[in-house]
Amino acid sequence: MGKKHVTESNQEETIKESEKIEAGLKKEVKVKSTVRILEGRVYVSSSYNNTIITLTDGKGNVLSSKSAGAVGFKGTKKSTSFAASRVSETIANAAKKIGIEKIEVFIKGIGAGRESAVRTLVNQGLNVVSIKDVTPIPHNGVRQKKVRRV
């Protein structure tokens, strides 16, 4: 089995890591248009390795996009629900800055950040109109192998 590695981190290292994450949260969001948009869509793509959240307008034009790696998480921490909630915080801040009030949420994938991302969007004060799961599901799979003839 092997030895278990226990890492000890002092308080200074944890403070530096949290400051790095906060710095990723406070980055300015670029607004592409000056027209105020009231309704938007949020696409949450949650895989085993990362969570990517995209904010679009009603037509599907991308206004802002963030991932757990862009916010400041590295390695296995990107796939956690905490990282997904931080990403959805930054997207919610971008939506407020643009002026979006109502959002539709589309969730794709089977990762750990699905639920926490939607919860954080609701808690940030955005009016969630609908939540839809658009995870692709195979119907019949691949073609079966030919029958072996002896």
d(CA 131, CA 63): 19
Could you read off the pLDDT of 106-135 as tens digits, one per residue? 999 998 889 999 999 999 999 999 999 999
Indicate the pTM of the whole model: 0.72
Which value, to the nearest 10 degrees, does the dihedral of the CA atoms of residues 132, 133, 136, 138 take? -110
Say how far apart CA 85 and CA 117 lie, in whole Å.
Answer: 5
Average pLDDT of the chain? 85
Residue-level pLDDT at 2:
61
How is the chain split into domains, by residue range? 36-133
| Strand ranges across the sheet with 62-67 | 62-67, 51-57, 39-46, 102-109, 127-133
CATH number assigned to the domain with residue range 36-133, chosen from the 4 options 3.30.420.80, 3.40.1050.10, 1.10.357.10, 2.60.40.10: 3.30.420.80
Q: Which of 30-34, 48-52, 59-63, 65-69 has the lowest mean pLDDT?
A: 30-34
Has residue 30 got a pLDDT over 60? no
pLDDT category of residue 32 using cuts at 50, 70 and 90: low
Query: Distance between CA atoms of 20 and 24, rounded to whole angstroms?
Result: 6
C-alpha–C-alpha distance, residues 128 and 121, integer Å: 8
